[in-house]
C-alpha cells in the first residue's frame, strides 16, 4: 500500500483517531495470504469508510463496510464520490448481531474498533469466526497498553480516557481473550510498529479531539500505550 496516495485523506473529515491506514497497511503486510479481486471482505467498525476504500483499492475485493456510529447513507455517498460505490456495500449494524450468511467472508478486518465490543473471552469464536470462510483471515488492530503496565491500566490511563480506560489491553491480555479453539488454525498477537507515525498524523489535525489527545501525548499516551495487532486464520 502506497500511503502517499491516501495522504489527501489524512484530515479531520476522514480520520477519527490515529491513522487507521497505517495500522491497516502493517496488518496487510503481515498477512501471508494476500487478498485479491475474488475476495469478499467485511470491514467491521469502518468509521468514515477510509479503511474500506483502501481495502477495495489495494485488493480489488468487494467490501461490506459496517459501522454503528456512521450511517450507511453517509458512507454510501462517500464511496460513490470516491468511485468505488459499485464495490463497497455500506452496512449499519451492531457487531453483536450481524445479519450475514455464515462462512461468507474471506477476511474480516477491524481497525481501531474491535476493543469497543469484543473484549470478552469467547466473543471471537461465537460472534466473528462463524462468518469467516474455511481458510479465512481476521485482521484486527486496536489501541492497547504496553505489557509492563497492564495491571495498572485504570490507574495510568483514566486521566486521559476516563471510563474507557478498561478497554486498553496488552498483547498478553488480547491473546488470552482471543483464546485457541479447534477451528482456529493460527493466532498471532503482537505489538504493531506504526504507533508513533499513526499518532503524529492524528495530532497534526486541528480538531478538539486531537487537541485533547495532544495534551496527554507526552505523559500518558506515548510512554504507556501501543497498538496491538491480531491475525487469526480459520481452519
* Low-confidence residues of the chain: pLDDT under 70: none
**Which numeric CATH code is attached to 3-234?**
3.40.50.150
Do residues 139 and 230 touch, judged by C-beta distance below 8 A? Answer: yes
Domain ranges, ordered by start, for the chain: 3-234
The per-residue pLDDT for range 93-109, each reduced to its tens digit, is 999 999 999 999 999 99
Tell me the CB-side half-sphere exposure of residue 181, using CA atoms within 13 A. Answer: 18
Report the helix count and the strand count for the chain, using DSSP H and E: 11, 7
Tell me the CB-side half-sphere exposure of residue 144, using CA atoms within 13 A. Answer: 30
The per-residue pLDDT for range 138-180, each reduced to its tens digit, is 999 999 999 999 999 999 999 999 999 999 999 999 999 999 8
What pLDDT sits at residue 33? Answer: 80
Q: Sheet containing 225-234: which strands, arranged edge to edge? A: 88-91, 62-66, 40-44, 105-111, 132-145, 225-234, 184-191
User: What's the whole-model pTM score?
Assistant: 0.96
Q: Can you read off the three cell numbers belonging to residue 94?
A: 451492531
What pLDDT sits at residue 34? Answer: 85
* Maximum distance among all Cα pairs of the chain, rounded to whole angstroms: 47
What pLDDT sits at residue 120? Answer: 95
Amino acid at each position: 500500500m502506497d500511503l502517499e496516495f491516501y495522504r489527501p485523506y489524512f484530515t479531520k473529515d476522514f480520520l477519527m483517531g490515529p491513522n487507521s491506514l497505517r495500522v491497516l497497511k502493517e496488518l496487510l503486510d503481515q498477512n501471508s495470504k494476500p487478498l485479491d479481486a475474488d475476495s469478499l471482505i467485511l470491514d467491521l467498525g469502518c468509521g468514515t469508510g477510509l479503511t474500506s476504500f483502501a481495502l477495495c483499492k489495494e485488493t480489488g475485493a468487494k467490501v461490506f463496510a459496517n459501522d454503528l456510529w456512521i450511517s450507511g447513507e453517509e458512507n454510501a455517498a462517500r464511496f460513490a464520490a470516491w468511485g468505488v460505490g459499485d464495490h463497497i456495500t455500506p452496512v449499519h449494524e451492531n457487531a453483536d448481531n450481524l445479519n450475514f450468511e455464515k462462512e461468507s467472508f474471506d477476511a474480516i478486518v477491524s481497525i481501531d474498533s474491535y476493543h469497543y465490543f469484543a473484549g470478552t473471552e469467547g466473543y471471537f469464536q461465537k460472534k466473528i469466526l462463524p462468518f469467516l470462510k474455511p481458510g479465512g483471515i481476521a485482521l484486527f488492530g486496536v489501541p492497547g497498553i504496553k505489557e509492563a503496565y497492564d495491571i495498572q491500566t485504570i490507574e495510568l490511563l483514566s486521566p486521559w480516557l476516563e471510563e474507557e480506560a478498561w478497554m486498553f489491553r496488552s498483547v498478553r491480555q488480547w491473546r488470552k481473550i482471543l483464546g485457541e479453539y479447534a477451528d482456529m488454525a493460527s493466532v498471532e498477537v503482537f505489538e504493531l510498529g506504526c504507533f508513533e507515525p499513526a499518532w503524529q498524523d492524528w495530532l497534526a489535525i486541528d480538531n478538539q479531539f486531537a487537541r485533547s489527545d495532544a495534551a496527554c501525548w507526552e505523559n500518558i499516551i506515548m510512554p504507556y500505550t501501543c497498538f496491538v495487532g491480531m491475525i487469526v486464520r480459520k481452519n
